């Protein structure tokens, strides 16, 4: 009897984890951070957010909100009822690791390109199931412009001088 | 005309003497060699000299050669490496695409290539990034010596260039000793031990993709990449050519080339051209693509495209 209970529990865990992997819809494995910001969760795990659209004042001013250049605010993407979740523009709830579906609402060209393996970067292997970085791995959701890392200097000898 | 004593000997006696001579030399030289050459350096060098072409070697001969390469690396560079010879992946033709809208000229690919492929610290590596003036795509107008402070006119762009792994490579035609050829998976390789260093291939390549080891490669033990392969990144001797092999030691084992892995902007796309659902096929079918110096009919297997 105990075995059966364990098996059932195990099965549920497996099902739930697969249900959570939104990447299976695009035939890819997603890599990169997916968690909600812990500093938000500190208060909003228990405190309901104020739902009126407004400029964020303290203590929210620590958040550098650049996305949408002032036209977007928290509850355009985050669910007020369930702070651990996102929502699409039409209101459909989304787990954090399915953020790309929310991104697709405004950036369909980039998402199409990403799903075909052109935008973003394929990880680890050129064969088998595609493993792609998901959007927030490169574009921080609240300040999404990609900032290039420093340029590497030219190697010692000029590449042009001797073939 | 007087006959030399040698020609006076009767043939059977002469043959016997020859055989005995060889036997005596071998028997007496072996322990002498062992004394004079305890690490086997001379023996290894001799065997490398007498070694045949890669494509004529049996698997056992190749295994011996790989061990010899490992020993030589330990002697010369003080590093224990592992040298392998992964065979071409069957049913796969490798290809490369570069998204020019994404390349920001950061040279992470250049650095990663040098590191992965054990390029001499005095050498330049097998990937170069050119800063291109607006509206021009001839390699000759590119500037390789740019840095973050170089003033660039608006509309300038960056063009990463390395071996284009041509399907009809000019370099292979130019080689007088067939030391370079195209493998079944599409990678143009060099047998460094067969190369005579004539540099004809470098002169023939329209993409400046081949580089000559003018000096014995300077490699620091701390920075050597120990996973190597015969046709790939094993430490090269002085006086031979080298080139980009799309990191054959990695890609034949399913991994990505070092330049793709290092690219921070995701401009580099590597994959199998025969995979109908692959990225490369999608690019070839949906993007406006071009190849470098296509008019030379070398049939490069590297395509360039933009986001537009």
| B120-134 pLDDT tens trace | 887 778 999 999 999
DSSP-derived letter for residue A90 is: T
Q: A25 to chain B nearest CA, in Å? A: 16
Distance in angstroms (rounded) separating the CA atoms of residues B107 and B109 = 5
Say yes or no: B113 and B226 in one domain. Answer: yes
Last residue of a domain, one of B34, B54, B84: B84
DSSP-derived letter for residue A50 is: P
Model confidence over B241-252: pLDDT tens digits? 999 999 999 999
> Does residue B93 contact residue B273 with C-beta atoms inside 8 Å?
yes
- Give the list of residues 6+ apart from residue B181 with CB closer than 8 angstroms, or none: B55, B172, B188, B189
A83 and chain B: CB distance < 8 Å anywhere? no
Distance in angstroms (rounded) separating the CA atoms of residues B50 and B52 = 6
Q: In 3D, which of A70, A42, A43 has the Cα closest to residue A56?
A: A70
Q: Do B106 and A153 lie within an 8 Å CB cutoff?
A: no
- Give the list of residues 6+ apart from residue B142 with CB closer than 8 angstroms, or none: B130, B131, B132, B159, B161
Q: Which helix (H) or strand (E) holds A94?
A: strand A93-94
**B102: confidence class by pLDDT, cuts 50, 70, 90:** very high
Would you state the structure tokens that stand for residue B209, as one six-digit string?
């993709």
Instruction: Please state the rounded mean pLDDT for residues A114-131.
Output: 90
Half-sphere exposure of B132 (CA within 13 A, CB side): 19
Say yes or no: B153 and B100 in one domain. Answer: yes
Q: Averaging pLDDT over each range in A11-25, A39-53, B94-108, which range is the top one?
A: B94-108
Say yes or no: B35 and B104 in one domain. Answer: no
Neighbouring-strand partners of residue B84 = B229
Say yes or no: B294 and B230 in one domain. Answer: yes
- Give the list of residues 6+ apart from residue B37 with CB closer than 8 angstroms, or none: B43
Say yes or no: B146 and B78 in one domain. Answer: no
**Confidence at residue B172, expressed as pLDDT on a 0 to 100 scale:** 97
Say yes or no: B22 and B126 in one domain. Answer: no
- Give the list of residues 6+ apart from residue A85 with CB closer than 8 angstroms, or none: A78, A79, A93, A94, A95, A96
Say yes or no: B98 and B80 in one domain. Answer: no
For residue A21, pLDDT over 80 is answered with no
Would you state the structure tokens that stand for residue A92, as one six-digit string?
């459909």
**Confidence at residue B21, expressed as pLDDT on a 0 to 100 scale:** 63
A145 and chain B: CB distance < 8 Å anywhere? no
Say yes or no: B45 and B140 in one domain. Answer: no
Say yes or no: B131 and B41 in one domain. Answer: no
A153 and chain B: CB distance < 8 Å anywhere? yes
B279 and chain A: CB distance < 8 Å anywhere? yes
Alpha helix ranges (H) inside B51-169: 59-77, 108-116
Here the ipTM equals 0.81
Q: Do B108 and A152 lie within an 8 Å CB cutoff?
A: yes
Say yes or no: B51 and B168 in one domain. Answer: no
Q: A77 to chain B nearest CA, in Å? A: 26
Say yes or no: B123 and B63 in one domain. Answer: no
Last residue of a domain, one of B59, B84, B109: B84
Collapsing DSSP states into helix, strand and coil, what is residue A130? strand
For residue B143, pLDDT over 70 is answered with yes
Residue numbers of B between 255 and 274 with CB closer than 8 Å to A:
255-256, 260, 263-266, 269-272
Model confidence over B49-71: pLDDT tens digits? 899 999 999 999 999 999 999 99
Q: How many residues make up chain A in this entry?
A: 163
Would you state the structure tokens that stand for residue B111, as one six-digit string?
């650095």
Based on the structure, what is the number of domains in chain B? 2
What Rg value do the Cα atoms of chain B yield, rounded?
Answer: 24
Distance in angstroms (rounded) separating the CA atoms of residues A4 and A70 = 54
Q: A131 to chain B nearest CA, in Å? A: 12
Q: By residue range, what is the domain housing residue B65? A: 15-84
For residue A16, pLDDT over 90 is answered with no
Say yes or no: B108 and B25 in one domain. Answer: no
> Does residue B267 contact residue B100 with C-beta atoms inside 8 Å?
yes
Cβ density class A104-123: b for 16+ within 10 Å, e for less:
beebeebbebbbbbbbbbbb
**Confidence at residue A141, expressed as pLDDT on a 0 to 100 scale:** 87
Lowest-confidence pick of A70-84, B91-105, B141-155, B291-305: A70-84
Q: Is residue B6 part of a domain?
A: no
From chain B, pick out residues whose CB is under 8 angstroms from the CB of A118.
99, 269, 279, 282-283, 287
Q: Averaging pLDDT over each range in A38-47, A151-160, B36-45, B216-225, which range is the top one?
A: B216-225
**DSSP letters along B192-237, please?**
TTT-----HHHHH-TT--EEE--S-----GGG---EEETTTTSPPP
Model confidence over B253-287: pLDDT tens digits? 999 999 999 999 999 999 999 999 999 999 999 99
**A159: confidence class by pLDDT, cuts 50, 70, 90:** very low
Collapsing DSSP states into helix, strand and coil, what is residue B299? coil
- Give the list of residues 6+ apart from residue B257 with CB closer than 8 angstroms, or none: B246, B247, B250, B251, B268, B270
Q: Which helix (H) or strand (E) holds A132?
A: strand A130-133
Helix H, strand E, coil C: the string for B106-130 is CCHHHHHHHHHCCCCCCCCCCCEEE
User: Which residue's entry shows tokens 């490169």?
Assistant: A138
CATH number at residue B247: 3.30.70.20
Q: Which helix (H) or strand (E) holds B6?
A: helix B5-8
Distance in angstroms (rounded) separating the CA atoms of residues B306 and B308 = 5
Q: Is residue B173 part of a domain?
A: yes
Mean pLDDT computed over every residue of chain B:
90
Lowest-confidence pick of A126-130, B92-96, B269-273: A126-130
Distance in angstroms (rounded) separating the CA atoms of residues B70 and B84 = 10
Q: Which helix (H) or strand (E) holds B29?
A: helix B11-36
Last residue of a domain, one of B56, B84, B112: B84
């Amino acid at each position: 009897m105990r075995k059966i209970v364990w098996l059932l529990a195990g099965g549920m865990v497996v099902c739930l984890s697969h249900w959570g992997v939104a990447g299976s819809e695009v035939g890819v494995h997603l890599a990169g951070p997916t968690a909600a910001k812990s500093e938000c969760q500190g208060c909003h795990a228990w405190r309901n957010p104020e739902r009126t659209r407004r400029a964020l004042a303290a203590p929210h001013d620590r958040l550098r909100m650049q996305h949408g250049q002032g036209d977007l605010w928290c509850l355009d993407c985050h669910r007020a009822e369930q702070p651990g979740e996102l929502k699409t523009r039409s209101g459909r709830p989304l787990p954090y690791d399915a953020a790309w579906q929310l991104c697709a609402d405004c950036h369909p060209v980039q998402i199409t390109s990403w799903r075909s393996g052109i935008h973003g970067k394929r990880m680890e292997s050129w064969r088998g199931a595609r493993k792609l970085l998901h959007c927030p791995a490169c574009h921080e959701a609240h300040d999404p412009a990609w900032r290039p890392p420093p340029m590497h200097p030219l190697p010692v000898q000029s590449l042009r001088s001797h073939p | 005309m007087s006959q030399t004593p040698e020609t006076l000997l009767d043939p059977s006696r002469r043959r016997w003497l020859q055989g005995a001579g060889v036997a005596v030399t071998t028997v007496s030289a072996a322990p002498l060699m062992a004394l004079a050459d305890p690490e086997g350096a001379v023996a290894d060098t001799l065997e490398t000299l007498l070694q045949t072409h890669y494509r004529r070697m049996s698997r056992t001969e190749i295994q011996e050669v790989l061990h010899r390469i490992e020993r030589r690396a330990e002697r010369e560079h003080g590093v224990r490496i592992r040298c392998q010879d992964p065979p071409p992946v069957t049913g796969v033709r490798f290809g490369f695409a570069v998204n020019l809208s994404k390349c920001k000229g950061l040279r992470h690919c250049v650095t990663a290539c040098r590191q992965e492929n054990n390029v001499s610290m005095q050498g330049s590596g097998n990937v170069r990034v050119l800063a291109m003036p607006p509206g021009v795509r001839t390699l000759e107008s590119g500037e390789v010596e740019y840095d973050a402070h170089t003033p660039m006119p608006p509309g300038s762009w960056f063009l990463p260039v390395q071996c284009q792994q041509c399907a009809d490579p000019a370099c292979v035609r130019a080689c007088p000793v067939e030391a370079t050829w195209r493998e079944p998976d599409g990678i143009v390789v060099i047998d460094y031990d067969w190369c005579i260093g004539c540099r004809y291939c470098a002169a023939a390549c329209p993409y400046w993709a081949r580089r000559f080891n003018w000096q014995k490669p300077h490699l620091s033990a701390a920075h050597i990449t120990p996973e190597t392969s015969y046709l790939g990144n094993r430490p090269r001797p002085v006086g031979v050519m080298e080139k980009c092999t799309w990191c054959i030691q990695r890609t034949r084992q399913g991994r990505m080339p070092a330049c793709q892995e290092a690219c921070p902007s995701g401009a580099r796309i590597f994959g199998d051209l025969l995979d109908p659902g692959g990225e490369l096929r999608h690019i070839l079918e949906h993007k406006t693509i071009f190849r470098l110096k296509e008019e030379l009919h070398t049939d490069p297997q590297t395509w360039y495209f933009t986001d537009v």
